[in-house]
Structure 1
């Protein structure tokens, strides 16, 4: 064997070893620098170093947070970005002494650091229960528009309710109104087995765009990074937001349908909602527009602020705001949500509030359209019950309502659920309400839900059979992705 053969043999022997060892070290280093908890970092470092080459491969497949990486790349590549409003820890604090209660000034200050939007006074906020109340007012607003209609929704079904919206949007387009509809690229598929809404809207002359639609080439099959916002805003100075999509499911009759709550907003807050839509539209289409010049006059007593949430930059923005709101409570905290998978920080804050003597009540649906999310949620209810948190299950039909209320003078409304998908993976819109009258009505509504709901106790938790416990624990393992 000559020298050349020795070199080739050495290369064939050592190069694969170097690749395996190098990949293991690279994966371990990446986990050390990027994982969010010591246990997660230790786990992936151990898997990568002890089981090469399988360990690094598993880490690449399941350990790398591609959601955040992809979101930031999309934001960077866009000329407009989804994070146009960039607050920070050094953002200037505003003076709200004249229209925010003294005990909420700290929470308002936190919002200044988390959302670049200011709290604006003089808004009117109206609760709209189900599509029965919301849809007629939304269609009336579309019919009254003379300048523009902007609509964002996650799901746009093409059944009877959806067709009423399509007809109204078509009428506005015929009048020469600037009509734009933005539909999430994954949520659009909920319209099946009926016709998909994008084609139907295009056929009647409505300008429509998809938000990050899945495609085979170039490949983009991202199921995260969804636009979960629900927005309707017109040039007549009215906006709608909340938890409701568009479809027959939200038209409730007896025990049939999906219970939900939407809100109509008038006053200066409308401009902030309009700006959120235009930011999303710029990202989806490349077209950047300024907000309208219409002066939004004061309409009511509510002070409000829009809070955008999404994984492009401050992935913990909404979660931090919720924790801050919980720690500001003096008397009670009331949460209504269909999906309840809070992170450790929020769980700890709720437990601490209950231990301080704060009345903490969480209202969940008895029947859930995503049973695996409900099973995962039950796994964690025990530690909340242990600290004195009240858990209630409201009876059928399925309730999709999202409310977060503190002390009857502060509320957070909008599209977010209390789960990782809303708090970390989706683009959401929430609106802060600082107003005793408006929030008091919301609190009375939640109190009525509690009265007709079933109290969930330690006995209920303990009565689960071992198969149910295994099931709940199994799905809890996947709670960061549900």
Structure 2
């Protein structure tokens, strides 16, 4: 009996020492590497208040081990950023924004592009499939979700046909968004001999320490000359004409011109990171040729970057706005600097319009967004709620002359945890087309928010506390 009590005391003491050591290690790491104060405080609290489990969660979800800084395979092919790139659009009153984004991204803005807006899978999928069938040298496809359903199957067949006729085909699917336990697309393409990979995926938990870092990019590059990007995944829910049970409306874009080189560079970098294979041949990177008059530049962001580039570009754009700001996003839960910048812009007389779906496909995010929306409405921002179907578009315009499109939502996950790809465009005609395509519907008011009963307000405020992890 005495021996049992002694053993129990020893085990208890050892567990206490281990807990202190683990929680202390988490504290030191969070203090050194977490720049966001709220995230640092949250993780330190979890580590101390949840023995062992808190440390395990931090190891899985809180530590950024993905570092690929400066490993762009083809940086020598991209012209250096200089004052001449800003001079190229000197007539644009937002030229200070052009200069700031160049300094931030290290990429030049390139003229000579064309861009076409496509609504949902109804318009985008046929165009994407047609370009795949026309491909002669290379196809790179990256998608967060790529379902093996009635929408995905035509892509399977088109990619297999391209591989069989000698085109270099590479397909990258996110290891979680594309189906963690089973990806029918991965299995089908692999069996057919198409080079396909799953981003940061392993069935063995001890080899999957990156569960919180996802590749949310959606990009298709054809022969290094034509690209598609935006918010559209590949799945039957994106085809409105088929009347799916839970339809998703989205916006995608066809881009042609020299900026496709930057889009291809992003895909090649992700493919190298995932598979170790370099894509550097002329099949992927032909000599760029001007085909239009739109100036564009890729803005990448991810946990491998030293700065949250897309978030910082949005902040720069808001600060440069003189007349109007329009944001269209399916999820709205950004960090406080962005909400503050929007509110201050409205207070200095700028028309700020924020367009959100009335109900998204993530209820907790809908609950949490009510908290930051109230002070924005009070500051003079106009918040518009879009009726069903759920709109998954991600768009931003400034002064009806500058736009940013791509994969990033306006939330902490997209700005700081996910690998995202956006494109900024200096073109007034295109900005006006975005505005015309996103007509506001019902305006949210302070009275409506204040009408929420106390239990709902408590629920919403509690959901907001999950912001660093949503």
Q: Deviations over 1:53-88 (max 9, x none)?
A: 75785764566795453223xx48xxx9579869xx
Give 1:160's match in structure 2, choosing from 142, 150, 154. 150
Tell me: CA distance 1:18–1:231, structure 2 relative to 1, closer, same or farther (3 Å): closer
2:35 match: 36
Give 1:280's match in structure 2, choosing from 264, 270, 284. 270
Deviation, 1:205, is: 2.6
User: What is the CA–CA distance in structure 1 between the aligned matches of 2:81 and 2:71, rounded to whole Å?
Assistant: 20
Deviation, 1:34, is: 4.1
User: What is the CA–CA distance in structure 1 between the aligned matches of 2:13 and 2:378, rounded to whole Å?
Assistant: 57
Q: Does structure 1 residue 313 correspond to structure 2 residue 301?
A: no
Q: Would the aligned equivalents of 1:215 and 1:221 in 2 still touch at CA under 8 Å?
A: no
Tell me: CA distance 1:262–1:462, structure 2 relative to 1, closer, same or farther (3 Å): same
1:4 match: none
Q: Deviations over 1:240-260 (max 9, x none)?
A: 000000111111139752100
User: What is the CA–CA distance in structure 2 between the aligned matches of 1:12 and 1:185, rounded to whole Å?
Assistant: 39
Deviation, 1:96, is: 2.5
Give 1:460's match in structure 2, choosing from 433, 445, 448. 448
RMSD between superposed Cα atoms in Å: 3.1
Q: Does structure 1 residue 346 correspond to structure 2 residue 338?
A: yes
Q: Structure 1: which 5+ runs fail to align? A: 1-10
Q: Would the aligned equivalents of 1:368 and 1:398 in 2 still touch at CA under 8 Å?
A: yes
Tell me: CA distance 1:220–1:439, structure 2 relative to 1, closer, same or farther (3 Å): same
Tell me: CA distance 1:255–1:480, structure 2 relative to 1, closer, same or farther (3 Å): farther
Deviation, 1:226, is: 0.7
Deviation, 1:215, is: 2.1
Q: Would the aligned equivalents of 2:60 and 2:212 in 1 still touch at CA under 8 Å?
A: no
Q: Would the aligned equivalents of 2:231 and 2:407 in 1 still touch at CA under 8 Å?
A: yes
2:7 match: none
Larger Rg computed on CA atoms = 1
Q: Deviations over 1:218-265 (max 9, x none)?
A: 431633211111111111721000000011111113975210000000
Worse overlay, 201-210 or 424-433: 201-210
Tell me: CA distance 1:215–1:83, structure 2 relative to 1, closer, same or farther (3 Å): farther
User: What is the CA–CA distance in structure 2 between the aligned matches of 1:218 and 1:16, rounded to whole Å?
Assistant: 22
2:215 match: 227
Give 2:160's match in structure 1, choosing from 131, 148, 170. 170
Partner of 2:85, secondary structure, is: coil
2:134 match: 144
2:324 match: 332
Tell me: CA distance 1:441–1:45, structure 2 relative to 1, closer, same or farther (3 Å): closer
Tell me: CA distance 1:290–1:383, structure 2 relative to 1, closer, same or farther (3 Å): same
Tell me: CA distance 1:13–1:59, structure 2 relative to 1, closer, same or farther (3 Å): closer
Deviation, 1:275, is: 0.8
1:384 match: 376
Q: Would the aligned equivalents of 1:85 and 1:116 in 2 still touch at CA under 8 Å?
A: no
Q: Would the aligned equivalents of 1:94 and 1:109 in 2 still touch at CA under 8 Å?
A: no
User: What is the CA–CA distance in structure 1 between the aligned matches of 2:277 and 2:38, rounded to whole Å?
Assistant: 44
Tell me: CA distance 1:118–1:22, structure 2 relative to 1, closer, same or farther (3 Å): same
Tell me: CA distance 1:290–1:470, structure 2 relative to 1, closer, same or farther (3 Å): same
Q: Would the aligned equivalents of 2:22 and 2:55 in 1 still touch at CA under 8 Å?
A: no
Worse overlay, 247-256 or 342-351: 247-256
Q: Deviations over 1:163-194 (max 9, x none)?
A: 011111111111111111111111221897xx
Partner of 2:86, secondary structure, is: coil
Give 1:103's match in structure 2, choosing from 93, 109, 131. 93
Tell me: CA distance 1:455–1:58, structure 2 relative to 1, closer, same or farther (3 Å): same
User: What is the CA–CA distance in structure 2 between the aligned matches of 1:400 and 1:430, rounded to whole Å?
Assistant: 15
1:243 match: 231
TM-score with structure 1 setting the length: 0.86
Partner of 1:284, secondary structure, is: helix
Tell me: CA distance 1:420–1:65, structure 2 relative to 1, closer, same or farther (3 Å): farther
User: What is the CA–CA distance in structure 1 between the aligned matches of 2:423 and 2:281, rounded to whole Å?
Assistant: 18
Tell me: CA distance 1:179–1:469, structure 2 relative to 1, closer, same or farther (3 Å): same
User: What is the CA–CA distance in structure 2 between the aligned matches of 1:157 and 1:17, rounded to whole Å?
Assistant: 47
2:5 match: none
Deviation, 1:289, is: 2.0
Equivalence map 1:324-473=2 (5 Å): 324-446=316-438, 449-450=439-440, 453-473=441-461
Deviation, 1:98, is: 2.9
2:289 match: 297
Deviation, 1:313, is: 2.7
Give 1:206's match in structure 2, choosing from 177, 194, 199. 194
Q: Deviations over 1:290-344 (max 9, x none)?
A: 1634222212121000111101132422111111100000100000000000111
Q: Does structure 1 residue 133 correspond to structure 2 residue 116?
A: no
TM-score with structure 2 setting the length: 0.88
Tell me: CA distance 1:172–1:59, structure 2 relative to 1, closer, same or farther (3 Å): closer
Deviation, 1:200, is: 0.7
Q: Structure 2: which 5+ runs fail to align? A: 1-9
Deviation, 1:131, is: 0.6
User: What is the CA–CA distance in structure 1 between the aligned matches of 2:393 and 2:326, rounded to whole Å?
Assistant: 13
Q: Deviations over 1:12-49 (max 9, x none)?
A: 9999998777777666555544443567767877898x
